[in-house]
Structure 1
Amino acid sequence: MPLVTAGVVVLDCAEPERLAEFYKELLAAEETHTTANRIEIESPAGTRLAFRRDVNATPPSWPRPENSLQVHLELEADDLDEAERRIVSLGGRPTETSAPGSHEERGYADPSGHSFVLRRTPPLEPKRG
């Protein structure tokens, strides 16, 4: 048994209720714990996120260099176009789109400005041929 295990990724934001709702809808997650200043959620896949109230929170400016990327989430989807429509409908916004290497990736910001990347779900089988 490891000495330390991963717990929960915590995003600071001015409005944890709003940000928790964004990720609950995007990940089909459920609230697991709520206090006045923190909301925790867990997705059916076991992803655990928390949103902590910080009235002075300043979102990172990534991909711009000032206040650059501090932490970001990587999410996966089979259909990037459909996932992007869902992200935008929930209040997220695209930051940049790129297709490096073998996995297509797209950058976004959540409604509070936190960066995350949406990657095409890697195939289970190696390419043949």
Structure 2
Amino acid sequence: MALVVAGVVVLDCAEPEKLAAFYEELLDAEQTDATANRVEIKGGEGLRMAFRRDMTATPPSWPRPENSLQVHLDFHVEDLDEAERKVVSLGGRPLETKEAAGPFEERGYADPAGHSFTLRRTRATAPKSG
């Protein structure tokens, strides 16, 4: 038997119920456990996340180096535009904007509590050169 059998990504935030609701909708997940200070969810693909109450939590200031990326999540999607619309409708916000036209392989966002994450296209649009 393995010494460690499961893992959960835990994000600190002031309002775990609200942040859990954001990720439940984004990941089509369901709540599996909740206490006064922590909410846990599980997505259809088995991803488990928890949100722990910390009234002094401050979001990372990425991309500023003085308060660098404390945690970063990557989510794989088939349609970046559709996924972006969902993120924004749930209260997330874009962190990286690109000037050029056309599809990009990944885009950065912040959840409603300010944690950064990336939506990454599941299949590459073109091979990288160089």
* TM-score between the two structures when normalised by the length of structure 2: 0.87
Residues 55-74 of structure 1 aligned to structure 2 (within 5 Å): 55-74=55-74
Residues 42-121 of structure 1 aligned to structure 2 (within 5 Å): 42-97=42-97, 104-121=105-122
Residues 20-31 of structure 1 aligned to structure 2 (within 5 Å): 20-31=20-31
Deviation at 1:122, TM superposition (A): 2.7
Gaps of 5+ in 1: none
What is the alpha-carbon distance in structure 1 between the residues aligned to residue 64 and residue 84 of structure 2?
21
Deviation at 1:51, TM superposition (A): 0.2
Q: Give the secondary-structure state (helix, strand or coil) at the position aligned to 1:84.
A: helix
Q: Which runs of 4+ in 1 moved over 6 A?
A: none
For 1:40, the equivalent position in structure 2 comes to: 40
Q: Give the secondary-structure state (helix, strand or coil) at the position aligned to 2:12.
A: strand
How many residues end up aligned between the 2 structures?
A: 121
Contact kept, 8 Å, 1:97 with 1:105, in 2: the verdict is no
Gaps of 5+ in 2: 99-103
Q: What root-mean-square deviation, in Å, do the aligned CA atoms of Structure 1 and Structure 2 show?
A: 1.9
Deviation at 1:6, TM superposition (A): 4.1
What is the alpha-carbon distance in structure 2 between the residues aligned to residue 72 and residue 6 of structure 1?
19
